[in-house]
Amino acid sequence: METDLGNSDYSDKWDFNHSDEFYALKGVEILDMFDRKIILSHTGVWCVIANKKLFSAHQNTNVIPFFPFLELGCENFISIVKKKLESKNMSAEIAYSFPLKYIISAALGMQSDYWVKLSISWLNCFTFDSEISDLLSYVMSSKWLSQSTRHLAKKMFFRFNKHS
């Protein structure tokens, strides 16, 4: 879901009731980095605000606005989110509801060596499954990617298959 927020001031309150798409979307700002904000709606939907547009991290939505957070690394990202949640008197365990796998899967399928390489580095945070294995196979065979990225995917692929 992508919705233009126009000129609305969303910096202090997260009440987007002026739009049907934001039906009762009230949330908590979790992270403010890279000119974007990650919020957690009261319904448990993780969203990012970038360029005055709101993007949710649901299946079949544009999750590219979440990609800059890949630069933090998996452990660092989770640690930051946990600390932010705790500072708002929320359970740190909520951090594990963040749709990392969906975002990483989308990044692995991108036509960008940079995002693919970053997303591969996050795979240590996941239990491998056939979806990740298939994406790594795709990356390994993608000649447009740099050799180092393909080799990184190959290394991760064989590490996964060795343990499964």
Domains of the chain by residue range = 1-98, 101-164
Q: Which residues contact 11 (CB under 8 A, 6 or more apart)?
A: none
Q: Over 80: is that where the pLDDT of 10 sits?
A: no
Beta bridge partners of 39: 29, 47
- Of 147 and 21, the structure prediction assigns the larger pLDDT to 147
Q: Does the predicted TM-score (pTM) go above 0.85?
A: no
Report pLDDT for 58.
Answer: 74
What's the residue count for the chain? 164
Please report, as a single letter, which amino acid is at residue 140. M
Sign of CA dihedral 85, 59, 73, 3: negative
Report pLDDT for 126.
Answer: 81
DSSP string, 13-62: ----TTSGGGTT--EEEEEEETTEEEEEETTS-EEEEETTEEEE--TTS-
Band the pLDDT of 1: cuts 50, 70, 90. Answer: very low
Taking only the tens place, the pLDDT of each residue in 116-142 is: 999 999 998 888 788 888 999 999 999
Report pLDDT for 143.
Answer: 94
